[in-house]
Amino acid sequence: MATEEVNKPSSLPQYPEMIFAAIAALNDKNGSNKSAISKYIESQYVDLPVGHSDLLQIHLNRLKESGDLILVKSNYMRPSPNTPPKRGRGRPPKPKVPLPAGHVSSPPRPRGRPPKPRDPNSVPTPKVSSGRPRGRPPKKAKPAGAAIPTKSGPPRPRGRPPKVRAPFASAGFD
């Protein structure tokens, strides 16, 4: 029984249709804001979904992006028919000039600097290797039990050594 109610098609029209009907019915010369559109839709249609305000905002944004609605000072309105279409951001593309009939176009040039032309008369020189690989050699692992010849005493600490101060007796204090 519950699955029949879920699968039953809704009697509501699509959100864009409800939005256009609300803007036309409100007929404000400055446009209609979101709350006025929402109140009109709530008064006209009974079985609205739970997330009505979120769905309304999503559809208003979608209609604004597609150019079906324009937003002026937080009010939505239909654009007049003689307004030019909304232009995208950035510089417009250059107009493409059609090629004359029978002209075969070459593939586009690859990116980057073209390679130097090779002299067909020159003899290719073989690369001479010194027997060692390129780059810095890897560190050699120290054996686990190997004794490293060092001075006797504790190992030297890292960093700058502390400042040596004279004892009090040598400075004249007893």
Report the domain count for the chain: 1
Note whether residue 22 is domain-resident. yes
Tell me, yes or no, whether 44 lies in a domain: yes
What's residue 99's pLDDT?
73
Q: How does DSSP assign 137-157, residue by residue?
A: PPPPPPPTTPPP---SSSPPP
Closest CA to 15 of 31, 43, 30, 37: 37
State the residue range of the domain holding 39: 10-77
Phi-psi sector, 171: left (phi>0), alpha (psi -120 to 50), beta: alpha
Domain membership flag for residue 28: yes
- 45 pLDDT band, cuts 50/70/90, is confident
Instruction: Say which range, 38-42, 80-84, 108-112, has the weakest mean pLDDT.
Output: 80-84
pTM of the model: 0.45
64 occurs within a structural domain: yes
Number of Cα atoms under 13 Å in the Cβ half of residue 71: 11
pLDDT given at position 6 = 46
**Is 50 exceeded by the pLDDT of residue 57?**
yes
In a domain, 170, yes or no: no
